[in-house]
Amino acid sequence: LWLLLYFVVQNSYIIPAPFVVIKNGIMLLFSGEFYLLLLSTLLRVLCGVIISLTLAGVGATICVYHKTFNAFIAPIMATLRSLPTLAVLLIILVFIDRNFAPVVVCMLSLIPLAFSEIYDWLKKSYNTSNEMLTLYNVSKKTQVKVYLVGILPTLVKEFFTLFSFGLKLVVSGEILANVYKSIGGTIHQASTYSNTIYLMALTLVVCVIGIVLEVVGKIISSKMEGNYL
């Protein structure tokens, strides 16, 4: 479709040739400056994912054992799912430094996703394992270890999935906030100066990185599940 549009439009400023963009994307991988930009963005994503998984994990664990808390937190998660990401970012930029705003937006979007996945696993595991663990009088410490070992493949898979999705969120946030020395900020500058080839090359590389991360997460988690089973 891209190649077809290139031949139809015949204007490299609007639709650059795919092979030119791919060539520029490969050249980025040999640029030290690109890796500095990527590191800055990945650190924001990592912060957002770790905080989101931690808060979601704690909340999901409490909800499994206390239904009252579940009734309290359910509407909060529903509200977070319905938040318009970019609109929220514009509001957050009024109160928070532009370097941290993408992280906050990333967290607000990832927490309900992580909570739902972890809560579903814990509830299913609790219903199937709790009776057996209680019957054999397994200590609380050992019970915690059993649940942690069981949920580890899910957490690994969820981490990479959230990281892939969080990368898109953070880059979008960096573009809107025009964060200095970041992937998103560089895309914003490329757009401002109508450098379409560089803009699309950066976007293509980010997409590939996101896909690779998600695939790696699935492979690792499937191997872990196989070992545990």
C-alpha 171/C-alpha 169 separation (Å) is 6
**For the chain, what is the mean pLDDT?**
85
Predicted confidence at residue 144, as pLDDT, reads 65
The residue to which tokens 């545990």 are assigned: 228
Angle of CA points 218, 154, 72, to nearest 5°: 135
pLDDT digits (tens, 9 = 90+) for 123-132: 877 666 666 6
> Measured between alpha carbons, how far is 82 from 79 in angstroms, rounded to an integer?
5
pLDDT at 131: 64
What was the pLDDT predicted at 10?
Answer: 83
- pLDDT, tens digit, for every residue of 15-58? 888 999 999 999 998 888 999 999 999 999 999 999 999 999 89
By residue count, the chain amounts to 229
